[in-house]
A and B are shown apart, each in its own frame.
Chain A
Amino acid sequence: MRHTISILCDDTPGVMTRVSGLFSRRGFNIESLSVGHTELPGKSRFTIVVAGDDAVLEQVRKQLQKLVHVIKAWDIKPLDAVEREHALIKLEVDERKRAELLEIITAVQARIVDSSGSIWTLEVTGDTNAVDSAFNLFSPYHVLESIRTGKIALERGPSRMLGRKKRDEQGA
């Protein structure tokens, strides 16, 4: 079973090593990881997808919470959240397949972000399933290279990230 863990932490050197190292040394396999800044100055937020049952997830979460730079680690339930992945796909376009490809591009709401001669670079954004589908649909064509980011996820409605008191302090 797949779980999505969100981690709010200090943006300090080495925090990436501390977080990712914890997964490997405790035997938890990271499926995807993305990290970036947040609206809070000096803070970063990880979204990590990890496979394992509920007990594994809870152990991961508690071990993460023990890292001194981790302010909060919590699991995100897919139904309560908006999730996005981003992918870039570079294709060599056969003139005869051009119309067909454009149809697929429209259908999956991809965008052509670069075209150099017969080579197009497409951008796809969506939840994991949407990006998977796009990869599937493009795979019969001549894909030169492709890359996708890890998932990022935000819960719907009010933030669970910080407690109410904290939010008041931050004037949010």
Chain B
Amino acid sequence: MRKGNITGARALIKALEAQGVEVIFGYPGGANLPIYDELSKSRIRHVLARHEQGAAHMADGYARSTGRTGVCLATSGPGATNLVTGLANAFMDSSPVVAITGQVPRTMIGNDAFQEVDITGITIPITKHNYLVQEPFELPHTVEEAFFLASTGRKGPVLIDIPRDVQLEEFAPHQAKYPQLEGYKPTVEGHPGQIKRAAALLKGAVRPVIIAGGGVHLGAARSELVALAEQAEIPLVYTLMGKAAFPNSHPLCLGLVGYHGRIESNTAVSEADVILAVGTRFGDRSTGPLATYARQAKIIHIDIDPAEISKNVPVFLPIVGDAKGILAQLAALLPAARHEEWVRRLREVAGAHPLKAKLKGVNIPNVLSVLRGLVSDPLIVTDVGRHQIFTAHYLPVDGERSFISSGGLGTMGFGVPAAIGAKVGNPGRTVVDISGDGSFLMTCQEIAAAVAEEIPIVVLVMNDYCLGMVKQLQDAFYGKRHEACRFGRNVDFARLAESMGALGIRVDQEEGIAPALEQALAAGRPAVIEFVLDDPANVYPMVTGANLLEYVE
């Protein structure tokens, strides 16, 4: 090597170090080995996943729980395609992730070489942007740009595909002028005129409601949101992504809104005269049927992505920009106000529609209630299914970034790896993944990664011996014909966990719930508790009609 020259792989690792990357979740293969060879000389920690999808979810869980950009690394071909679900998941929930893939050497691209796949082509629809690096000297700038794109504006995953020969080729670090991101200028500052108009609208509101979405976390706007809600006494509902955007036990917090929302939340949205929506894209799970959605309300929509304005729901007053600054400016213009009658009305609705699940026996609400008594402010991760909605309803979280779930894509198998990523980013916090038997089996191999890397997560497998949400849909809409919804002979989850070196506990009696949770929380190593549910129940409320107030509870 010529003096002063460095290889592409070295330049990549240096650029990652310059971004402050502390951990990479990855899986090696032929086309990324030069990167691994350099990684071994770096102070960046590597967590070896057991499947690339796991690596992508880990990076995503790390990002959601810390606010920092998560990084995953895979090889070409199947390694790259295995990242796809994880990237789509991060994309739907606007999670800042940088994915790095190895690619076959430049001369072989397009020849259908061994383990070649056009991953930049495949991931165009599920990344914010992606790169196929053609020259090693592009790497430092590409990495910088990728992190900038992933973590600014509407956040999201960015993929960098690097041919193996580019990783190996040397270049002299030079100061060539790089192309600018001319077309990328996210609006950060909210328009002052719009903020003034929003303040006037809220000031005149009789039945105002705030809808908090995932953008509140992404914009780190939680304390501004709480301050504004308190100052003007505005009740608040949250989407699944916005669950930890507001202290759940706050008196103004009504609960989950939408398809599986609380009656008081859906009543609030349906009867509101002004809605302040913050960082939510009015996804169909949170709105229910659009034709009847919030008919009485003038909607103020704060979002960093102009394309979300009036995409699904007509917006009366858009404010494009960063929620933190906008909420602070809005609060400064809002006089203190009370909406006693409105709040009383919603409390009455809430009082008339309490959550109805029983807290006896081995069932999800009861397990969650015991868990809540044992650990304060845990970082909760969920998988996807009935347990996910049960957790949204029955496990209030008050801490910031305390609830992580796959919202937009609804990815079964997200829980275990996302919990691993979250624990890596928050070693001081108790991280509990709440999963179902179906979801757990999709990525349970990552328990082996958690054991090997000494990442002590606690996984609760709510075993109802079936695909609970599928069963619920079949109950409601398919005449209770439970086709393909039962697994038949089930897995012994405790022994499965033990076989991977984790603590495994099986609980099938109510008396066993608390001791098992205590043991797992104190284990200091990965633990899996299988709860054999004695009376698996469907999760309600559920909207079944043409508007948010036609429901089964």
B149 at the interface (CB under 8 A from A): yes
Given contact pairs A21-B125, A25-B125, A55-B310, A67 touches B120 in the complex (Cβ within 8 A) = no
Q: Tell me the minimal C-beta distance from A16 to chain B in angstroms.
A: 11
B523 at the interface (CB under 8 A from A): no
Q: Is the CB of A72 within 8 A of B310?
A: no
A70 at the interface (CB under 8 A from B): yes
Specify the main secondary structure of chain B where it touches its partner.
loop
Q: Is the CB of B124 within 8 A of A18?
A: yes
| Residue among B121, B154, B184 with the highest chain A CB neighbour number at 10 A | B184
Residues of B with C-beta under 8 A to A62: 306-307, 309
| Residue among B121, B124, B307, B310 with the highest chain A CB neighbour number at 10 A | B307
Scan residues 1-32 of chain A and give those whose CB is less than 8 A from a CB of chain B.
9-10, 13-14, 17-18, 21, 25
Q: Give the interface size bracket for B toward A.
A: 20 to 34
Residues of A with C-beta under 8 A to B305: 66
Q: Is the CB of A71 within 8 A of B124?
A: no
Q: Is the CB of B307 within 8 A of A59?
A: yes
Q: How far is the CA of A68 from the CA of B309 in the complex (A)?
A: 19
- Checking B125, B181, B183 against A9 with a beta-carbon cut-off of 8 angstroms, the contacting residue is B183
B479 at the interface (CB under 8 A from A): no
A63 at the interface (CB under 8 A from B): yes
Q: How far is the CA of A117 from the CA of B352 in the complex (A)?
A: 89
Q: Is the CB of A69 within 8 A of B307?
A: no
Q: Is the CB of A71 within 8 A of B182?
A: yes
0/1 interface trace, chain A 56-97, chain B, CB 8 Å (1 if under) = 001100110111111110000000000000000000000000
B4 at the interface (CB under 8 A from A): no
Scan residues 115-146 of chain B and give those whose CB is less than 8 A from a CB of chain A.
120-121, 124-125, 128-129, 132
Scan residues 161-186 of chain B and give those whose CB is less than 8 A from a CB of chain A.
179, 181-184
Residues of A with C-beta under 8 A to B311: 59
Q: Tell me the minimal C-beta distance from B78 to chain A in angstroms.
A: 22
Q: Is the CB of B310 within 8 A of A10?
A: no
Residues of A with C-beta under 8 A to B179: 10, 42
Residues of A with C-beta under 8 A to B121: 14, 17
Q: How far is the CA of A150 from the CA of B310 in the complex (A)?
A: 30
Closest chain B residue to A72 by CB distance? B183
Q: How far is the CA of A115 from the CA of B20 in the complex (A)?
A: 68
Q: Is the CB of B183 within 8 A of A71?
A: yes
Q: Is the CB of B306 within 8 A of A65?
A: yes
Residues of A with C-beta under 8 A to B181: 68
Scan residues 86-144 of chain A and give those whose CB is less than 8 A from a CB of chain B.
none
Given contact pairs A14-B120, A17-B121, A17-B124, A67 touches B183 in the complex (Cβ within 8 A) = yes
- Checking B124, B154, B306 against A21 with a beta-carbon cut-off of 8 angstroms, the contacting residue is B124
Q: Is the CB of B120 within 8 A of A68?
A: no
Q: Is the CB of B149 within 8 A of A63?
A: no
Residues of A with C-beta under 8 A to B182: 10, 71
Residues of B with C-beta under 8 A to A71: 182-183
Closest chain A residue to B134 by CB distance? A13
Given contact pairs A62-B306, A62-B307, A63-B307, A68 touches B183 in the complex (Cβ within 8 A) = yes
Q: Is the CB of B125 within 8 A of A68?
A: no
Q: Is the CB of A10 within 8 A of B183?
A: yes
Could you show 25 A-B contacts with beta carbons less than 8 Å apart? Answer: A9-B183, A10-B183, A14-B120, A14-B124, A14-B132, A17-B124, A21-B124, A55-B310, A58-B310, A59-B311, A62-B306, A62-B307, A62-B309, A63-B307, A65-B306, A66-B154, A66-B305, A66-B307, A68-B128, A68-B129, A68-B149, A69-B183, A70-B183, A71-B182, A72-B183
Give the top 8 A-B pairs by smallest Cβ distance, nearest first: A62-B307, A71-B183, A68-B129, A70-B183, A71-B182, A25-B125, A68-B184, A63-B307
**What would 5 more interface pairs be, CB under 8 Å, given A66-B307, A71-B183?**
A14-B120, A42-B179, A59-B311, A63-B307, A68-B149
